[in-house]
Structure 1
Amino acid sequence: MRYLILGCGWVGEFVAKLWLEEGHEVWASTTTEEKYHRLVADGIFVFKQNFDEQATPAIDLPTDFDYILVSIPATNKSTQDELTSRFIRVCDFLSGVKYQKMIFLSSIGIYPDVSREIDEDTFEDEELQAKLLSAEKAISRFPRTHIYRLGGLFGQNRIFAKYFQSKVCSTGDQPANFIHLEDVAALIRAGFIKPLQHTLYNVVCPQHPSKKDVILASAHKYGFEQPSAFIAGASFQKIVKSTRLQNDLNYTFQYESPLDF
């Protein structure tokens, strides 16, 4: 199989190495010289491409892939104009290649902060975060494309307690809508090789303990300092469900709960 990863960040690099171990051919874009050389050393066919700039694609890039993973970020840190320009260039690039299936990595940050259980059909478009939605709609115009809305992503050196050492935590009462890197990678790989019945999927652990409990569990497990205090803050009870993806792929999570991270 020949895979293409556009925007080979933390998730992309992890998945790329798994595909290489399986004997697949992997191509990937990056924006930095340092990552370019690191990915080349791993055996990945790498090309530098910054979709915030008008760049010329690599001359030797194939035009035919089996599967494409798009992991170009769309965040609130960017302006709408910046995101529009970025994804116009991404779409221009994609229009020049052939593929069997494509997965775009989005975020559950697209959902409003409300106290309710949320699935993929809970909200109308006008209720969703406009910037993230614009990126999803740009990519979803392509056929055989599926969108994964990822929860808070942890694993390897990303440990929740690390970010609250000796700090005041005001979000401890909120449910954790998290996902482990290894489950994300497994769901991406399964999503390419197995049939997917829907366009849109949430990717979140089935269990939703409080963030306070996750902080305390990971602090104990990895030896981090606990927060200096937990105080009452914005305590909306937002729970994002990923039942659709579990059912479509008949998938059993490696990490059912963020307490296991």
Structure 2
Amino acid sequence: MTVTIIGLGWLGVPLAQLLREQGYTVKGSTTQSKKQAHLVDSGIDTTVFSLDPQPKGQNYSDLFDTDILFVNIPPGSRTRPASFHPQQISAIKKLATETKVPRIIYASSTGIYPNLNQVARETDSIDRDNTGNLALWEAENLLWKDKTYDLTVIRFAGLLGGDRIPGKYFSGKENVPGHFPVNYVHRVDACRAVSWIIEKDLWNNMFNIVCPKHPTKKEVFEKNALDMGFPPPGSYDKSSNQNWKCISVEKFLETGFRFHFNDPLSFTYSVDLLSKT
């Protein structure tokens, strides 16, 4: 079976490595020509391909000659208008439909849920007026509408591990929000979850992928500082008027999946990368 990964980045590369170890034929795309050579050398058939928002690149049609298309494109909501990412996904859908791609996995985010100070589940009603991320909401709906392929949407929580250490970003800062529950998932489990969905044929579905345990931000930041040796936040915001959400993973656990990193307080990181980030 062949899997194409659109977006061989921080998540896509280790996912490609895991799938290759499991016997899949893997190919994928990068937007950087200088990165292509490195990926090819590592054994991953890589094409330079970008969406701006229309497709750009050479010979990228081969990416869509595949059994499964894993679409892993950040929405860029901070730097792009909300319409940009849906246009990217529209272009992907058009190419996938024309080439008759049979299965698609779309990497979305739990950021799509509104902050309603409660548990968020896949069955929650989300619309353009209450969504936490309009670009993702439109992209998901676009992929579901009149589809000719099997589709599963993964809503990833905050992806951590490697050099992504949450406490590092708040080290020494003042008035840091700390009493809300975190919604995190380790990169190892994110990759394992994609593999699990493929292995178990969990198609035409939607899953939140998030750690079952939700310690507070303060607990995580203080543990990171203690483990990694950098200063914790200087102070925490004690106000209670900020909204939050706690993402449920119950539906995915019902498929039989078990997390390797069950608790964000037990996440491992690459300490040697601290000086580089």
TM-score (norm 2): 0.87
Determine helix, strand or coil for the equivalent of 1:49: strand
1:239 and 2:246 correspond: yes
Aligned to 2:74: 73
Aligned to 1:251: 257
Matches within 5 A, 1:78-227: 78-126=80-128, 127-128=130-131, 129-141=133-145, 142=147, 143-196=149-202, 199-227=205-233
CA gap of 1:33–1:63, structure 2 versus 1, over 3 A, is: closer
Matched AA of 1:35: K
CA gap of 1:190–1:82, structure 2 versus 1, over 3 A, is: same
Q: Is the 8 A contact 1:75 1:132 kept in 2?
A: no
CA gap of 1:174–1:33, structure 2 versus 1, over 3 A, is: same
Question: Within 2, Cα distance between the matches of 1:87 and 1:114?
Answer: 28
Determine helix, strand or coil for the equivalent of 2:143: helix
Question: Within 2, Cα distance between the matches of 1:54 and 1:237?
Answer: 36
CA gap of 1:235–1:259, structure 2 versus 1, over 3 A, is: farther
Question: Within 2, Cα distance between the matches of 1:175 and 1:213?
Answer: 9
List, as ranges, runs of 4+ consecutive aligned residues in structure 1 with deviation greater than 6 Å: none
Shift of 1:87: 2.0
Shift of 1:235: 3.9
CA gap of 1:150–1:216, structure 2 versus 1, over 3 A, is: same
Aligned to 2:48: 48
Matched AA of 1:84: P
C-alpha distance after superposition, 1:53-77 (max 9, x if no partner) = 4425516726532222110122422
Question: Within 1, Cα distance between the matches of 2:64 and 2:220?
Answer: 44
Matched AA of 2:90: I
Question: Within 1, Cα distance between the matches of 2:38 and 2:81?
Answer: 30
Determine helix, strand or coil for the equivalent of 2:47: strand
Q: Is the 8 A contact 2:170 2:176 kept in 1?
A: no
Structure 1 unaligned regions, length at least 5? none
Question: Within 1, Cα distance between the matches of 2:151 and 2:190?
Answer: 17
Q: Percent identity?
A: 28
Shift of 1:246: 1.1
Q: How many residues align?
A: 260
Shift of 1:206: 0.6
CA gap of 1:225–1:231, structure 2 versus 1, over 3 A, is: same
Determine helix, strand or coil for the equivalent of 1:50: strand
Q: Is the 8 A contact 1:105 1:147 kept in 2?
A: yes
Shift of 1:105: 0.4
Aligned to 1:64: 65
Matched AA of 1:91: K
Q: Is the 8 A contact 1:162 1:219 kept in 2?
A: yes
Question: Within 2, Cα distance between the matches of 1:61 and 1:246?
Answer: 35
Aligned to 2:271: none
Shift of 1:88: 2.3
Shift of 1:5: 0.4
Question: Within 2, Cα distance between the matches of 1:188 and 1:49?
Answer: 22
Determine helix, strand or coil for the equivalent of 2:11: helix
Alignment root-mean-square deviation, CA: 1.9
Question: Within 1, Cα distance between the matches of 2:97 and 2:201?
Answer: 23
C-alpha distance after superposition, 1:70-117 (max 9, x if no partner) = 101224222133223322222222223344432110011111112111
Shift of 1:255: 1.1
Question: Within 2, Cα distance between the matches of 1:10 and 1:51?
Answer: 18
TM-score (norm 1): 0.92
Q: Is the 8 A contact 2:4 2:66 kept in 1?
A: yes
Q: Is the 8 A contact 2:197 2:203 kept in 1?
A: no
Matched AA of 1:228: G
Q: Is the 8 A contact 2:152 2:203 kept in 1?
A: no
